[in-house]
Amino acid sequence: MVKTLNGSRFTLTTSEADIYTAPSNAMTLLVQAVNTTSGPVTCELWMTDGSNNHVACLFPSQSIAAYDGISDTSKHYIPTGYKIRGLASAGTSIYVEVTTFEGW
């Protein structure tokens, strides 16, 4: 089986949306969110199953200060078809990057 290092980038909106969908078993290596605006913005990130049911919280709802960011280097197993989804209190203000290792 081919193993792949994957980077996904996404700008959050005020509606929960897909950031990453695991095409095969995957593991997160880095999840980070950056506020690109001059004011604080609240965001949250979830792992969901294929039907968008929340199964694990990656970033609980929290405020990110202006031009600041948060990151998580914990390793999270993501089964095939599961997703990372997120939303922010202000659209186009939080930029998310997810780095995963796939295919193991």
Q: What is the pLDDT of residues 10-37, one digit of tens each?
A: 999 999 999 999 999 999 999 999 999 9
Give the pLDDT score at 2.
60
Per-residue model confidence (pLDDT) at position 5? 81
- Domain with 87, as residue range(s), is 4-102
Residue 76 CB-density burial (10 A; 0-12 exposed, 13-18 middle, 19+ buried): middle
Question: Which residues of the chain fall below pLDDT 70?
Answer: 1-2
The gap from C-alpha 91 to its chain's centroid, in whole angstroms, comes to 15
Paired with 10 in beta bridges are: 96
Q: What is the pLDDT of residue 4?
A: 79
CATH of the domain at 53: 2.60.120.340
* pLDDT recorded at residue 6: 84
Domain count, the chain: 1
